[in-house]
Amino acid sequence: MFGRLKERLTGGAKRLSGRTDLLEGIAAASVLGGAADGDLSDDEAMVALDRLKAHEALSAAFTATQIEQAFDKQAARAKQGLAGRIGLRREIEQVGSSASEEDREMLLVIAIDVVCADGDISEAERKALNTIGQAVNLPVARYLE
């Protein structure tokens, strides 16, 4: 069993390696979820970045610096008002239109982890998750039950 888990992780890391478009889409989803209440606070940003860097497949496929750079790029977008939020959604939609179901699911689950980090999902956060789910063509309710 451990061998299969290791093979899946290694395979996932190989599959993700060099896919900066996917990394940026995942970072955008994390930022969009974290900023759902109006802005991305420093605490929310730290939680989101920690979740990204702690993710097994992401941390095996990308360096901490690559993850931080992708996150910082998307976090800067969140501070650009409506235009920034549209940019975040477009980044997520690009993943939704080109990635495998497994990759789209990873994006959504990481966004859910970021939103649930404080133990509560506000109405604004639920709306953001639904937007993310629609962009990647996955039903959010299936993951929240």
pLDDT at residue 6 greater than cutoff 80? no
pLDDT value, residue 12: 55
**Angle (CA) 103 112 62, round 5°:** 45
Kindly list the structural domains of the chain, giving each domain's residue range(s) and its CATH number in brackets, ordered by start.
2-144 (1.10.3680)
Sign of CA dihedral 94, 103, 128, 54: negative
User: What are the distances in angstroms from CA 145 to CA 14, 64, 112, 140, 142?
Assistant: 31, 32, 12, 9, 6
What whole-number distance in Å separates Cα of residue 65 and Cα of residue 108? 22
Band the pLDDT of 88: cuts 50, 70, 90. Answer: very high
What whole-number distance in Å separates Cα of residue 23 and Cα of residue 116? 20
